[in-house]
């Protein structure tokens, strides 16, 4: 049974359509990351799932039970949803233990203490139960928030930018740790972030949202490498757009010469297409002589750690290439395309 099942959800603020026929499903125990530009409707979707707003059309079901539709809305407190926010939202006047115990009802005093201790162990904060939020680091405060949310054994956890306020040095470790906790507890979660890297590290799959719709949903690796359209391709990371003309089922003429695809091209010969090539799928090779027939040259290089983000100019167009060799500006180069499954768009920007 699906932990979350959203079907054809529509919601408008006054006359502005914010959620438009939105569909999203999350399996039991699955962690999904919702990625999208500012204003695409992520917060509105979280509000709809948590029961703070009522949809105009469509429905939301949690573990098979409809909780929101245009006819009914189960109150937020009866949905069994845990929420984790960017600012931790802990009660400053309550100790760590009391923060965790806050939402636990119907438990005897001894069961309550047992559950709080269990949660403290789970999030690795054993011994800090008497501290107050201001006596903890950001990462520790977020762990308390996780412990508080999980103490209620939620059906679904919603996380809204939970790592944005965490120091970047601790962030990667915390993301991994919290992911492991959710997996251990088999809790399904929907995680909202602006950071693709956080999404890749934390979630099992990503859902790319744009103008109130989910454009593509899948494993990060697949969405990154096989985007459904130009918007998703560009949103998932940098790439080069090139005009091309199909020669046959594996070859395309482009400004970089004839490019081969390792997979079949589903377009008729002579069709005009747009290619999308990631920077790491291009290489540059230094030309030993100034060859006027190959006028590509280095415009700029930026050290990124593992590689150099290199801008190469070819016939007044800039290409972005990830390479490892330091090349001075104006060095003449050849650009090569590595053998891979090419991503091609039609005139409407949809993947062919
Ligand atoms: N209470 C409101 N009344 C009217 N319009 C609203 C209201 N809340 C949000 N909106 C509009 O709805 C759209 C979606 O907003 P929402 O907050 O869901 O976006 P978001 O994807 O969460 O953005 P961000 O990433 O910046 O938080 C925006 O155009 C916003 O201006």
End-to-end CA distance of the chain: 33
pLDDT at position 292, please?
55
303 lines ligand 1 (CB under 6 A): no
The model's pLDDT over 22-46, given as tens digits with 9 standing for 90+, comes to 999 999 999 999 999 999 999 999 9
Identity of the highest mean pLDDT range in 13-17, 118-122, 298-302: 298-302
**Do residues 34 and 194 lie in contact, with contact meaning Cβ atoms separated by under 8 Å?**
no
The proportion of the chain whose per-residue pLDDT surpasses 90, expressed as a percent, equals 79
Residue 291's pLDDT band (cuts 50, 70, 90): low
Q: Residue 252: is its pLDDT beyond 80?
A: yes
User: Greatest CA span in the chain, whole angstroms?
Assistant: 83
Structure tokens at 106: 């119907």
Query: Domains in the chain, please, with CATH?
Result: 2-233 (3.40.50.300), 243-345 (2.40.50.140)
Question: What is the mean pLDDT of the segment spanning 129-152?
Answer: 92
Question: What is the mean pLDDT of the segment spanning 100-104?
Answer: 88
15 lines ligand 1 (CB under 6 A): no
Query: What is the distance in A from the centroid of ligand 1 to the CA of 47?
Result: 11
Residue 163's pLDDT band (cuts 50, 70, 90): confident
Q: Residue 57: is its pLDDT beyond 90?
A: yes
Under DSSP, is residue 201 helix (H, G, I), strand (E, B) or coil?
helix
Burial label, 71 (beta-carbon count in 10 A; 0-12, 13-18, 19+): exposed
43 lines ligand 1 (CB under 6 A): yes
Backbone angles phi, psi at 110, to 5 degrees: -70, -40
Number of Cβ within a 10 Å radius of residue 202: 24
Q: Residue 56: is its pLDDT beyond 60?
A: yes
**Do residues 81 and 62 lie in contact, with contact meaning Cβ atoms separated by under 8 Å?**
yes
Distance CA 64, CA 3 (A): 8
More confident of the two residues 152 and 19: 19
Distance CA 273, CA 267 (A): 9
36 lines ligand 1 (CB under 6 A): yes
pLDDT at position 295, please?
81
More confident of the two residues 103 and 199: 199
Atom of ligand 1 nearest to the CA of 36: 21
Q: Residue 271: is its pLDDT beyond 80?
A: yes
- Cross-strand bridge partners of residue 158: 83, 190
Q: Residue 229: is its pLDDT beyond 80?
A: yes
Q: Which residue's CA is minimally distant from atom 7 of ligand 1?
A: 13
Q: Per mean pLDDT, which range of 51-60, 88-97, 277-286, 335-344 is the poorest?
A: 88-97
pLDDT at position 87, please?
80
34 lines ligand 1 (CB under 6 A): no
Alpha-helical regions (H) of the chain? 42-50, 96-101, 109-122, 138-151, 168-185, 196-202, 220-225, 230-236
- Cross-strand bridge partners of residue 185: none
Q: Any idea how long the chain is?
A: 352
The model's pLDDT over 164-202, given as tens digits with 9 standing for 90+, comes to 888 888 888 889 988 999 999 999 999 999 889 999 999
Report DSSP state, residue 149.
H
pLDDT at position 226, please?
96
63: left (phi over 0), alpha (psi -120 to 50) or beta: left
Q: Residue 155: is its pLDDT beyond 90?
A: no
153: left (phi over 0), alpha (psi -120 to 50) or beta: left
Residue 2's pLDDT band (cuts 50, 70, 90): very high
49 lines ligand 1 (CB under 6 A): no
13 lines ligand 1 (CB under 6 A): yes
Q: Residue 64: is its pLDDT beyond 90?
A: yes
Query: What is the distance in A from the centroid of ligand 1 to the CA of 173?
Result: 31
Q: How many helices (H) and strands (E) does the chain have?
A: 8, 20
Q: Residue 289: is its pLDDT beyond 80?
A: no
Number of Cβ within a 10 Å radius of residue 105: 8
Atom of ligand 1 nearest to the CA of 212: 14
Burial label, 82 (beta-carbon count in 10 A; 0-12, 13-18, 19+): buried
Residue 290's pLDDT band (cuts 50, 70, 90): low
Q: Residue 102: is its pLDDT beyond 80?
A: yes
Contacts of 346 by beta carbon, 8 Å cutoff, 6+ apart: 267, 273, 274, 352
């Amino acid at each position: 049974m699906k932990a979350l099942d959203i079907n054809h959800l529509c919601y408008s603020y006054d006359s502005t359509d914010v959620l438009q026929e939105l569909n999203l499903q999350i399996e039991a125990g699955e962690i999904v990351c919702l990625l999208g530009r500012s204003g695409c409707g992520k917060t509105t979707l979280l509000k709809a799932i948590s029961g703070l707003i009522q949809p105009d059309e469509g429905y939301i079901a949690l573990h098979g039970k409809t909780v929101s539709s245009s006819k009914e809305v189960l109150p937020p407190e009866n949905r069994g949803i845990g929420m984790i926010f960017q600012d931790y939202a802990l009660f400053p006047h309550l100790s760590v233990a009391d923060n965790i115990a806050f939402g636990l009802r119907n438990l005897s005093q001894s069961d309550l203490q047992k559950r709080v201790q269990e949660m403290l162990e789970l999030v690795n904060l054993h011994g800090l139960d008497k501290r107050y939020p201001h006596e903890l680091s950001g990462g520790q405060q977020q762990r308390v928030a996780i412990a508080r949310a999980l103490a209620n054994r939620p059906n679904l956890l919603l996380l809204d930018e939970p790592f944005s306020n965490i120091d970047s040095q601790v962030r990667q470790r915390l993301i991994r740790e919290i992911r492991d906790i959710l997996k251990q507890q088999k809790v399904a979660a929907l995680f909202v972030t602006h950071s693709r890297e956080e999404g890749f590290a934390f979630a099992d799959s990503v859902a790319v949202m744009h103008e109130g719709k989910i454009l593509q949903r899948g494993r990060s690796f697949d969405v990154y490498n096989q985007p459904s359209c130009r918007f998703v391709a560009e949103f998932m990371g940098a790439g080069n757009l090139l005009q091309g003309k199909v020669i046959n089922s594996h070859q395309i003429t482009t400004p970089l010469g004839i490019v081969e695809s390792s997979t079949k091209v589903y377009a008729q010969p002579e069709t005009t297409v747009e290619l999308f090539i990631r920077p790491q799928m291009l290489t540059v090779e230094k030309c030993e002589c100034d060859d006027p027939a190959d006028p590509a040259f280095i415009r700029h290089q930026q050290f990124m750690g593992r590689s150099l983000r290199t801008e190469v100019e070819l016939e007044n167009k800039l290409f972005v290439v990830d390479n490892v060799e330091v090349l001075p500006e104006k060095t003449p180069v050849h650009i090569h395309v590595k053998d891979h499954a090419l991503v091609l768009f039609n005139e409407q920007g949809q993947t062919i």
